Amino acid sequence: MFKQEQTFMDFLLEHQERHKRSYHFLILMNSILNAAKRIQFYYSTGALRGDLGLTGSVNIQGEDVLHMDMIANELVKHSLARSGRVVHAVGEEEEEVIVMNEEGGRYFVYYDPMDGSSNVPHNLPIGFLFGVAKRNLEGKEDMHLRAGREYIAAGMFVIPTGTFTIALHNAGCWRFHLDETFNYVKPTNMVLPDSRKTWELSFNSANRGTYALPIQKWIAENERKYAFRYLGALAGDFHRILTNGGLFMYPAIINHPDPKKNRPQGKLRLMYEAAVVSFMCREAGGHAVDEDGTPILDIVPQKPHQRTALYVGSKPLVDEIGKILREK
Ligand code: F6P
Protein backbone atom coordinates (compact mmCIF):
# COMPACT_ATOMS: atom_id res chain seq x y z
CA MET A 1 0.00 0.00 0.00
CA PHE A 2 1.14 3.55 -0.60
CA LYS A 3 1.93 5.75 2.36
CA GLN A 4 0.28 9.15 2.69
CA GLU A 5 2.85 11.43 4.27
CA GLN A 6 1.76 14.27 6.52
CA THR A 7 1.78 17.64 4.76
CA PHE A 8 3.34 20.75 6.22
CA MET A 9 -0.08 22.39 6.53
CA ASP A 10 -1.49 19.43 8.50
CA PHE A 11 1.60 19.45 10.68
CA LEU A 12 1.17 23.16 11.39
CA LEU A 13 -2.55 22.85 12.00
CA GLU A 14 -1.90 20.18 14.64
CA HIS A 15 0.83 22.34 16.18
CA GLN A 16 -1.45 25.40 16.41
CA GLU A 17 -4.31 23.38 17.91
CA ARG A 18 -2.04 21.61 20.41
CA HIS A 19 -0.78 24.99 21.63
CA LYS A 20 -4.22 26.61 21.49
CA ARG A 21 -3.07 29.18 18.98
CA SER A 22 -5.04 31.10 16.38
CA TYR A 23 -5.11 30.21 12.68
CA HIS A 24 -3.60 33.52 11.61
CA PHE A 25 -0.12 32.02 11.43
CA LEU A 26 -1.44 29.28 9.13
CA ILE A 27 -2.79 31.92 6.78
CA LEU A 28 0.57 33.67 6.80
CA MET A 29 2.43 30.41 6.15
CA ASN A 30 0.03 29.55 3.34
CA SER A 31 1.05 32.77 1.61
CA ILE A 32 4.76 32.00 2.12
CA LEU A 33 4.30 28.48 0.73
CA ASN A 34 2.41 29.78 -2.29
CA ALA A 35 5.22 32.21 -3.04
CA ALA A 36 7.85 29.47 -2.62
CA LYS A 37 6.06 27.12 -5.01
CA ARG A 38 5.78 29.87 -7.61
CA ILE A 39 9.48 30.75 -7.25
CA GLN A 40 10.22 27.05 -7.61
CA PHE A 41 8.23 26.95 -10.86
CA TYR A 42 9.77 30.11 -12.35
CA TYR A 43 13.27 29.04 -11.38
CA SER A 44 12.94 25.52 -12.76
CA THR A 45 11.72 26.85 -16.10
CA GLY A 46 13.82 30.05 -16.10
CA ALA A 47 16.55 28.75 -18.41
CA LEU A 48 13.93 27.95 -21.09
CA ARG A 49 12.43 31.44 -20.88
CA GLY A 50 15.80 33.20 -20.69
CA ASP A 51 15.06 34.56 -17.20
CA LEU A 52 18.34 33.62 -15.53
CA GLY A 53 20.28 36.71 -16.59
CA LEU A 54 20.67 40.33 -15.45
CA THR A 55 18.09 43.13 -15.71
CA GLY A 56 20.77 45.81 -16.11
CA SER A 57 19.84 47.62 -12.88
CA VAL A 58 21.60 47.70 -9.50
CA ASN A 59 19.82 47.14 -6.16
CA ILE A 60 20.11 48.97 -2.84
CA GLN A 61 22.91 46.63 -1.79
CA GLY A 62 24.89 47.78 -4.85
CA GLU A 63 24.45 44.38 -6.52
CA ASP A 64 23.38 43.71 -10.11
CA VAL A 65 19.71 42.73 -10.23
CA LEU A 66 18.78 39.48 -11.94
CA HIS A 67 15.40 38.89 -13.61
CA MET A 68 14.84 36.11 -11.07
CA ASP A 69 15.54 38.48 -8.13
CA MET A 70 12.75 40.70 -9.38
CA ILE A 71 10.31 37.90 -10.15
CA ALA A 72 10.89 36.24 -6.76
CA ASN A 73 10.56 39.52 -4.88
CA GLU A 74 7.26 40.38 -6.59
CA LEU A 75 5.88 36.91 -5.88
CA VAL A 76 6.72 37.09 -2.17
CA LYS A 77 5.63 40.69 -1.70
CA HIS A 78 2.23 40.17 -3.30
CA SER A 79 1.59 36.91 -1.54
CA LEU A 80 2.43 38.39 1.87
CA ALA A 81 0.26 41.44 1.23
CA ARG A 82 -2.65 39.27 0.09
CA SER A 83 -2.56 37.27 3.34
CA GLY A 84 -3.70 40.41 5.17
CA ARG A 85 -1.70 39.25 8.19
CA VAL A 86 1.51 41.23 7.67
CA VAL A 87 2.07 44.59 9.37
CA HIS A 88 5.49 45.35 7.87
CA ALA A 89 7.88 43.41 5.69
CA VAL A 90 11.59 43.85 5.05
CA GLY A 91 12.76 42.41 1.73
CA GLU A 92 16.27 42.14 0.34
CA GLU A 93 15.31 43.92 -2.87
CA GLU A 94 13.32 46.72 -1.19
CA GLU A 95 15.10 49.76 0.20
CA GLU A 96 12.38 50.79 2.66
CA VAL A 97 10.35 48.77 5.12
CA ILE A 98 7.22 47.70 3.19
CA VAL A 99 4.08 48.82 5.01
CA MET A 100 1.33 46.25 4.45
CA ASN A 101 -1.50 46.16 7.01
CA GLU A 102 -0.79 48.37 10.03
CA GLU A 103 -4.44 48.23 10.99
CA GLY A 104 -5.15 44.51 11.22
CA GLY A 105 -1.83 42.72 10.54
CA ARG A 106 -0.18 40.58 13.23
CA TYR A 107 3.29 39.72 11.91
CA PHE A 108 6.55 41.24 10.76
CA VAL A 109 8.20 39.27 7.97
CA TYR A 110 11.85 39.60 6.98
CA TYR A 111 12.69 37.84 3.71
CA ASP A 112 15.29 37.21 1.07
CA PRO A 113 13.37 35.84 -1.92
CA MET A 114 16.38 34.68 -3.93
CA ASP A 115 19.57 34.21 -1.96
CA GLY A 116 22.80 32.92 -3.51
CA SER A 117 22.59 34.90 -6.75
CA SER A 118 25.89 33.61 -8.16
CA ASN A 119 24.15 30.24 -8.63
CA VAL A 120 21.23 31.68 -10.64
CA PRO A 121 22.85 31.77 -14.13
CA HIS A 122 23.68 28.08 -13.63
CA ASN A 123 20.24 27.06 -12.32
CA LEU A 124 21.99 25.67 -9.25
CA PRO A 125 20.43 25.78 -5.75
CA ILE A 126 19.39 29.11 -4.29
CA GLY A 127 17.39 29.94 -1.16
CA PHE A 128 14.22 31.75 -0.15
CA LEU A 129 14.70 32.64 3.51
CA PHE A 130 12.28 34.25 5.93
CA GLY A 131 11.95 35.20 9.59
CA VAL A 132 8.67 36.02 11.34
CA ALA A 133 8.13 38.13 14.46
CA LYS A 134 4.83 39.04 16.08
CA ARG A 135 3.27 42.38 16.86
CA ASN A 136 2.70 43.27 20.51
CA LEU A 137 -0.98 42.45 20.68
CA GLU A 138 -1.30 43.47 24.31
CA GLY A 139 0.15 46.57 25.88
CA LYS A 140 2.14 49.21 24.10
CA GLU A 141 2.36 49.12 20.29
CA ASP A 142 5.94 48.34 19.29
CA MET A 143 7.01 48.58 15.68
CA HIS A 144 10.81 48.28 16.03
CA LEU A 145 12.84 45.87 13.90
CA ARG A 146 13.09 42.65 15.89
CA ALA A 147 16.18 40.76 17.01
CA GLY A 148 16.33 37.05 16.08
CA ARG A 149 15.57 36.18 19.70
CA GLU A 150 12.09 37.66 19.18
CA TYR A 151 11.30 35.67 16.01
CA ILE A 152 8.48 33.17 16.40
CA ALA A 153 9.51 31.21 13.31
CA ALA A 154 12.20 31.17 10.64
CA GLY A 155 12.65 29.01 7.61
CA MET A 156 14.23 28.42 4.23
CA PHE A 157 13.35 26.77 0.96
CA VAL A 158 16.20 25.33 -1.08
CA ILE A 159 15.09 25.84 -4.67
CA PRO A 160 14.79 23.93 -6.99
CA THR A 161 15.75 20.90 -4.87
CA GLY A 162 12.35 21.03 -3.13
CA THR A 163 13.35 21.04 0.51
CA PHE A 164 11.80 23.31 3.11
CA THR A 165 13.11 23.65 6.66
CA ILE A 166 11.31 25.64 9.33
CA ALA A 167 11.94 26.23 13.03
CA LEU A 168 9.14 27.21 15.37
CA HIS A 169 9.86 28.98 18.63
CA ASN A 170 10.60 26.31 21.30
CA ALA A 171 9.13 23.61 19.05
CA GLY A 172 12.17 22.40 17.13
CA CYS A 173 13.47 22.55 13.60
CA TRP A 174 11.68 20.52 10.92
CA ARG A 175 12.47 19.55 7.34
CA PHE A 176 9.93 18.78 4.60
CA HIS A 177 10.20 17.59 0.98
CA LEU A 178 8.19 18.64 -2.03
CA ASP A 179 6.18 15.68 -3.35
CA GLU A 180 4.78 14.99 -6.81
CA THR A 181 1.52 16.79 -5.91
CA PHE A 182 3.48 19.95 -5.01
CA ASN A 183 2.92 19.59 -1.27
CA TYR A 184 5.72 19.84 1.29
CA VAL A 185 5.47 16.55 3.21
CA LYS A 186 7.10 14.19 5.71
CA PRO A 187 8.29 16.23 8.70
CA THR A 188 11.72 15.24 9.97
CA ASN A 189 12.97 16.73 13.20
CA MET A 190 16.42 18.21 12.65
CA VAL A 191 18.89 17.88 15.51
CA LEU A 192 22.56 18.64 14.95
CA PRO A 193 24.57 15.42 15.37
CA ASP A 194 26.89 15.18 18.40
CA SER A 195 29.43 12.95 16.69
CA ARG A 196 32.19 14.88 14.94
CA LYS A 197 32.53 12.15 12.32
CA THR A 198 30.11 13.85 9.90
CA TRP A 199 30.95 17.48 10.72
CA GLU A 200 31.84 19.80 7.87
CA LEU A 201 33.40 23.23 7.47
CA SER A 202 31.86 25.66 4.98
CA PHE A 203 33.30 29.06 4.06
CA ASN A 204 34.64 30.87 1.00
CA SER A 205 38.16 29.52 1.20
CA ALA A 206 39.46 32.07 -1.32
CA ASN A 207 38.85 34.73 1.36
CA ARG A 208 40.79 33.01 4.15
CA GLY A 209 43.80 35.37 3.96
CA THR A 210 41.48 38.35 4.55
CA TYR A 211 40.09 37.14 7.90
CA ALA A 212 41.23 38.27 11.37
CA LEU A 213 44.53 36.55 12.24
CA PRO A 214 43.12 34.39 15.09
CA ILE A 215 40.48 33.04 12.68
CA GLN A 216 43.15 32.28 10.09
CA LYS A 217 45.11 30.45 12.80
CA TRP A 218 42.01 28.46 13.88
CA ILE A 219 41.38 27.40 10.28
CA ALA A 220 44.99 26.30 9.77
CA GLU A 221 44.90 24.22 12.96
CA ASN A 222 41.46 22.68 12.49
CA GLU A 223 40.48 22.36 8.85
CA ARG A 224 42.03 18.94 8.31
CA LYS A 225 39.76 17.43 10.97
CA TYR A 226 36.60 17.96 8.93
CA ALA A 227 35.28 17.65 5.39
CA PHE A 228 35.09 20.95 3.50
CA ARG A 229 32.01 21.88 1.42
CA TYR A 230 30.97 25.21 -0.11
CA LEU A 231 28.13 25.87 -2.53
CA GLY A 232 28.04 29.68 -2.27
CA ALA A 233 24.34 29.88 -1.37
CA LEU A 234 23.68 30.20 2.34
CA ALA A 235 20.49 28.07 2.35
CA GLY A 236 22.24 25.17 0.61
CA ASP A 237 25.39 25.39 2.71
CA PHE A 238 23.44 25.68 5.95
CA HIS A 239 21.15 22.82 4.84
CA ARG A 240 24.17 20.51 4.88
CA ILE A 241 25.40 21.80 8.27
CA LEU A 242 21.95 21.16 9.79
CA THR A 243 22.13 17.54 8.65
CA ASN A 244 25.81 16.74 9.15
CA GLY A 245 26.87 19.25 11.84
CA GLY A 246 29.98 21.43 11.75
CA LEU A 247 30.42 25.12 11.05
CA PHE A 248 29.39 27.59 8.36
CA MET A 249 31.15 30.93 8.54
CA TYR A 250 31.26 34.18 6.66
CA PRO A 251 33.80 36.14 8.75
CA ALA A 252 34.49 39.86 8.53
CA ILE A 253 36.95 40.72 5.75
CA ILE A 254 39.58 42.98 7.29
CA ASN A 255 42.90 42.07 5.65
CA HIS A 256 42.08 42.38 1.95
CA PRO A 257 45.08 43.47 -0.19
CA ASP A 258 42.74 46.08 -1.67
CA PRO A 259 41.42 47.90 1.45
CA LYS A 260 38.36 49.07 -0.51
CA LYS A 261 37.26 45.44 -0.61
CA ASN A 262 37.34 45.03 3.18
CA ARG A 263 33.97 44.27 4.80
CA PRO A 264 34.52 44.84 8.54
CA GLN A 265 30.74 44.58 9.10
CA GLY A 266 30.61 41.20 7.32
CA LYS A 267 28.69 40.42 4.14
CA LEU A 268 25.50 38.61 5.12
CA ARG A 269 22.34 40.46 6.08
CA LEU A 270 21.30 40.18 9.71
CA MET A 271 17.52 40.15 9.52
CA TYR A 272 16.79 37.81 6.62
CA GLU A 273 19.96 35.71 6.38
CA ALA A 274 22.01 35.45 9.59
CA ALA A 275 19.17 35.63 12.15
CA VAL A 276 17.07 33.19 10.10
CA VAL A 277 19.68 30.42 10.03
CA SER A 278 20.74 31.19 13.63
CA PHE A 279 17.16 30.78 14.83
CA MET A 280 16.86 27.46 12.99
CA CYS A 281 20.24 26.39 14.34
CA ARG A 282 19.24 27.16 17.94
CA GLU A 283 16.08 25.07 17.58
CA ALA A 284 18.27 22.21 16.26
CA GLY A 285 20.61 22.46 19.29
CA GLY A 286 23.28 24.69 17.74
CA HIS A 287 24.54 28.22 18.18
CA ALA A 288 25.65 31.31 16.19
CA VAL A 289 27.83 34.36 16.88
CA ASP A 290 29.09 37.46 15.07
CA GLU A 291 32.66 38.79 14.74
CA ASP A 292 32.72 39.90 18.43
CA GLY A 293 31.46 36.54 19.64
CA THR A 294 28.05 38.08 20.42
CA PRO A 295 25.11 35.69 19.85
CA ILE A 296 23.51 36.61 16.51
CA LEU A 297 20.04 36.25 18.05
CA ASP A 298 20.83 39.02 20.58
CA ILE A 299 21.64 41.67 17.97
CA VAL A 300 18.91 44.30 17.75
CA PRO A 301 18.95 45.65 14.17
CA GLN A 302 19.51 49.37 13.77
CA LYS A 303 18.50 49.31 10.11
CA PRO A 304 16.66 46.85 7.86
CA HIS A 305 19.59 45.83 5.67
CA GLN A 306 22.24 45.65 8.40
CA ARG A 307 25.12 43.29 7.70
CA THR A 308 26.94 40.98 10.07
CA ALA A 309 29.70 38.41 10.14
CA LEU A 310 28.33 34.94 10.87
CA TYR A 311 29.64 31.78 12.54
CA VAL A 312 26.84 29.20 12.82
CA GLY A 313 26.63 25.47 13.50
CA SER A 314 27.39 22.83 16.12
CA LYS A 315 27.56 24.35 19.57
CA PRO A 316 31.02 23.05 20.61
CA LEU A 317 32.59 24.54 17.46
CA VAL A 318 30.76 27.87 17.69
CA ASP A 319 31.62 28.12 21.41
CA GLU A 320 35.29 27.48 20.60
CA ILE A 321 35.32 30.15 17.86
CA GLY A 322 33.21 32.53 20.00
CA LYS A 323 35.84 32.42 22.77
CA ILE A 324 38.59 33.27 20.25
CA LEU A 325 36.50 36.13 18.83
CA ARG A 326 35.76 37.59 22.27
CA GLU A 327 39.45 37.49 23.23
CA LYS A 328 40.88 38.97 20.02
O1 F6P B 1 24.45 37.06 0.70
C2 F6P B 1 24.32 36.34 -0.41
C3 F6P B 1 25.16 35.10 -0.55
O4 F6P B 1 25.03 34.69 -1.88
C5 F6P B 1 24.87 33.94 0.42
O6 F6P B 1 23.80 33.15 0.04
C7 F6P B 1 26.15 33.15 0.38
O8 F6P B 1 26.36 32.41 1.57
C9 F6P B 1 27.20 34.22 0.19
O10 F6P B 1 26.55 35.37 -0.30
C11 F6P B 1 28.27 33.79 -0.79
O12 F6P B 1 29.23 34.77 -0.89
P13 F6P B 1 30.62 34.57 -1.70
O14 F6P B 1 30.23 34.51 -3.15
O15 F6P B 1 31.40 35.77 -1.35
O16 F6P B 1 31.23 33.29 -1.23
Residue 235's pLDDT band, with cuts at 50, 70 and 90, is: very high
Output helix, strand, coil percentages for the chain, rounded to the nearest 5: 40, 25, 35
Q: pLDDT tens digits for 129-139?
A: 999 999 998 87
What's the confidence (pLDDT) of residue 46? Answer: 86
- Please give the number of the atom of ligand 1 that sits closest to the Cα of 115: 6
- Which residue's CA is the nearest one to ligand 1's atom 8? 234
Reported as a pLDDT band with limits 50, 70 and 90, residue 38 is very high
pLDDT at 35 over 80: yes
Domains located in the chain, CATH noted: 8-189 (3.30.540.10), 196-327 (3.40.190.80)
Contact 127, 245 (CB under 8 A): no
Which of 58, 97, 66, 103 lies closest to 84, judged by CA?
103
129 three-class SS: strand
CA 129 / ligand 1 centre spacing (Å): 13
Mutate to test the pocket of ligand 1, among 93, 122, 204 (most ligand atoms within 8 A of CB): 204
- pLDDT for the residue numbered 61: 73
Interval 289-308 mean pLDDT: 98
Output the residue whose Cα is nearest ligand 1's atom 15. Answer: 204
Pocket test for ligand 1, best of 120, 268, 272, 306 (most atoms within 8 A of CB): 268
Closest residue to atom 13 of ligand 1, CA basis: 232
* 321 Cα to the center of ligand 1, angstroms: 21
Calculate the average pLDDT of the chain.
Answer: 95
CA neighbor of 27 nearest in space, from 93, 86, 67:
86
Nearest CA to ligand 1 atom 11: 232
- Pocket, ligand 1, Cβ cutoff 6 A: 115-118, 204, 232-234, 237, 267-268, 273
Q: 235 CA distance to ligand 1 centroid (A)? A: 10
E-assigned strand segments in the chain:
54-58, 64-66, 86-91, 98-99, 107-115, 126-134, 151-159, 163-168, 173-178, 184-189, 200-202, 227-228, 246-250, 268-269, 287-289, 307-308, 310-313
- The DSSP line for 35-93 is HHHHHHHHHHTHHHHT-SSEEEEE-TTS-EEEHHHHHHHHHHHHHHHHHS-EEEEEETT
pLDDT at 54 over 70: yes
Based on its alpha-carbon atoms, the radius of gyration of the chain, rounded to whole angstroms, reads: 19
**Best of 273, 310, 312 for a ligand 1 pocket test (most atoms within 8 Å of beta carbon):** 273
Q: What is the pLDDT of residues 213-222, one digit of tens each?
A: 999 999 999 9
